[in-house]
Amino acid sequence: MHTFGHRLRRAMRHFGPLCVGIDPHPALLRAWGLNADVDGLETFAEICVEAFDGQVALVKPQVAFFETYGSGGIAVLERTIGVLRGSGTLVLADAKRGDIGSTMDAYAHAWLGDGPLGADAVTVSPYLGFGALAPALDLAAANRRGVFVLAATSNPEGAQVQRALVDGRAVAQAMVDAAAERNAGAEFGAVGVVVGATLTDAPDMSRLNGPVLMPGVGAQGGGPESIRALLPESMFHAAVPNVAREVLGAGPEVPALRAKVAELQDVFGFLQH
């Protein structure tokens, strides 16, 4: 099997760069005429799978919105991941895991292993130290999966940690640099970073050689111009605009969801040219 980086680049060239989130927020379930319970969650997820499977480069279920329903919600997430991956659509589990030692190793095996929650990639938080991510990074490499490391997030509280200086570098820059070291020598690395599309400035990612997941696109205010402002043109091919509310707000009809995806693929098509 090819590396995650290779498979993601191939999917981005074929479908466009968009990552579509599956975020079953209770208010959105109700807007779709569904109950905010496990049955509503399952219907929501099934509609999303039908709309996005084989249509986009990457699908990103937000794990928290499934966890809130307990074992029933996790079962829906397992089925969602299984159906998407079974048909060849790449899945990024947005779990934002971060811990140390054996606990981080357990998280890695849950999300990057061959169990029912195993995805193509997972989001991780490096703020117990980038080195603490080693179990996930190592397992991802062994299993040809990917990891997206939170680097510069758009929430205002994040700046307290991410913009702090250590040895002359912002912490966020240190995280990007560490990810770049992991990607050294690859055609396109499997260690990506997460950088908010609504930021006014971003770390230098010119050495990353991997994907840049950019949440905040669409309803949250990010768009083509914000990506142009944050990335050098040489990095456009690596940008993965992440959109959820902008697409999901068009539901629940599958044709409307697909039409919104197609519209946004056109908007961000310049990234792959």
Annotated catalytic sites, by residue? 96
First to last CA, the chain: 27
- Which residues touch 61 (CB under 8 Å, ≥6 apart)? 21, 22, 45, 77, 80, 81, 91, 93, 94
Is the preceding omega at residue 252 within 30 degrees of 0, hence cis? Answer: yes
Contacts 24+ apart (CB under 8 A), 67-73: 69/37, 69/38, 69/41, 72/38, 72/41, 73/38, 73/41
Indicate the helix (H) or strand (E) that contains 17.
Answer: none
